Amino acid sequence: MSGQENTRFKGGLPDYLIRHTTFRQMQIFEAVVRLGSFTRAAEELFLTQPTVSTQLKKLTDVMELPLVDQSGRKLKPTEAGESLYLAIRQIFDCMADLDTRMADLKGVRRGRLRLCVITTAKYFAPEILGEFSREYPDIDISLKVTNRDRVLERLLNNDDDLYIMGQPPEDADNIKVYPFAENPLVVMSGRDHPLTKESNIPLERLAQEPLISREVGSGIRDSMMKLFDKHQLKPNIRMEIGSNEGIKHGVVGGLGLAILSLHTLELEGAEGPVDVLDVEGFPIKRQLYLAHSDDKALSPITQAFLEFALIREPMINTRMQALYETFSKRHKAQRTKNQRCETVR
Ligand code: PGA
């Protein structure tokens, strides 16, 4: 080894990195790359933009290579920047785990929990998190809600601690999954839609109705398209809305029918302005999963949350079954009433 290389490493650590980089610079660089913007990084870290630029310049000088490329429309890390970003993420994950373990040793239940879920889980996950945080008041929680494609991307990148998703990918072997709550798909309409009076509506009839669909990349859309494909039908998609709540408003506004998870009616229940239609083959039974990357050990907090959530599965299922039952009973009562009226006439 040359004399210069000898001075570059001390105790197995690259001396120039220890002397000339700071955690603050790494934190700034991580935020710039993750958010793809100097402005957003500055906002997130409560810094001014010149501070962000200066610190990034210092880090670039230490690395002696450009770290970000701003030539396109979106700021991107260079190859060197990408390597640095991955290293920083590992360092930060290690430090966060260390913090949790230290707190554990002190008998304090502290730590960080980053949960990322498909849109359907946003209707019950915050409630479980609320209960969990009453038992663990000192934890720092973040909840990211996005569609199936984005959740998969984040899971494969190991961006979060735990995920709630639909069907897990079949070809990924470094992912651990735990079957979780039921996720029934139903057909929704406004309360005054003529189809609310009918029972066992054929799928062909549904395919003719204008539908409001989620965006490409959504698990709900994927299930819906597979169903129509299986029956060699083409749905009449009138419009796309990238939000379950937006779709429910569209349904109430008469823009069309929609296929969504029954979980989306969690708050308003059967008394709200949305009705569930009796369509053949529905509700489509689907399942949710808790998942995490198997690349590193779960932090004690994540492990505790995983167990906490799994225990709540029967409660979530019972609630959904009861809600579906309420819709069915109301329809049955309504149909009996209509039949009686017709007989009298
Ligand atoms: P999505 O997934 O948010 O990607 O549509 C929800 C679901 O599959 O229930």
166 lines ligand 1 (CB under 6 A): yes
Q: Are 279 and 244 in contact (CB under 8 A)?
A: no
Amino acid 98: pLDDT: 86
CA of 13 to the centre of ligand 1 (A): 45
Amino acid at 227: L
Point out the ligand 1 atom lying closest to the alpha carbon of residue 218. Answer: 4
Mutate to test the pocket of ligand 1, among 120, 150, 212 (most ligand atoms within 8 A of CB): 120
Amino acid 7: pLDDT: 64
Q: Are 239 and 255 in contact (CB under 8 A)?
A: yes
Amino acid 277: pLDDT: 96
Instruction: Report the C-alpha gap between 26 and 87 in whole angstroms.
Output: 10
Q: How buried is 29 (Cβ within 10 angstroms: 0-12 exposed, 13-18 middle, 19+ buried)?
A: buried
Amino acid 278: pLDDT: 94
Domains parsed from the chain with CATH numbers: 1-108 (1.10.10.10), 110-182+287-311 (3.40.190.10), 184-285+322-344 (3.40.190.10)
Distance of CA 195 to the CA centre of its chain: 33
Residue given tokens 């995490």 in the structure block: 292
Ligand 1 atom 8 nearest Cα: 219
33 lines ligand 1 (CB under 6 A): no
CA of 220 to the centre of ligand 1 (A): 5
Instruction: Report the C-alpha gap between 87 and 229 in whole angstroms.
Output: 44
CA of 307 to the centre of ligand 1 (A): 23
184 lines ligand 1 (CB under 6 A): no
147 lines ligand 1 (CB under 6 A): yes
Residue 196 per-residue DSSP state: G
- Short-list 264, 258, 224, CA closest to 245: 264
DSSP for 96-129, written as a single string: HHHHHHHHHHTT--EEEEEEEEEGGGGGTHHHHH
For residue 41, the number of C-alpha atoms closer than 13 Å in the C-beta half-sphere is 23
Q: What tokens were used for 35?
A: 């958010």
Residue given tokens 């290690």 in the structure block: 94
Q: In the chain, which ranges are continuous DSSP H helix?
A: 3-8, 15-20, 23-35, 38-45, 49-63, 79-105, 125-135, 148-157, 203-208, 219-230, 244-252, 300-311, 313-344
Amino acid 108: pLDDT: 66
Amino acid 2: pLDDT: 44
Q: For residue range 108-156, list pLDDT tens digits in order.
A: 677 889 999 999 999 999 999 999 999 988 889 999 999 999 999 999 8
Q: Are 45 and 35 in contact (CB under 8 A)?
A: no
Rg, Å, the chain Cα set = 26
Residue 31 per-residue DSSP state: H
118 lines ligand 1 (CB under 6 A): yes
pTM: 0.77
- Short-list 166, 167, 147, 327, CA closest to 240: 147
Q: Which residues of the chain have pLDDT under 70?
A: 1-7, 107-108, 342-345
Instruction: Report the C-alpha gap between 141 and 110 in whole angstroms.
Output: 11
261 lines ligand 1 (CB under 6 A): yes
Q: Are 149 and 246 in contact (CB under 8 A)?
A: no
Amino acid 11: pLDDT: 75
244 lines ligand 1 (CB under 6 A): no
Amino acid 22: pLDDT: 92
CA of 35 to the centre of ligand 1 (A): 24
- Short-list 137, 128, 141, CA closest to 290: 128
Amino acid 6: pLDDT: 55
Amino acid 96: pLDDT: 84
**What is the distance in angstroms between the CA of the first residue and the CA of the last residue of the chain?**
102
25 lines ligand 1 (CB under 6 A): no
DSSP for 249-289, written as a single string: HHHHTTS-BEEEEGGGGTTTGGGSSEEE--BTTPSBP-EEE
Ligand 1 atom 2 nearest Cα: 219
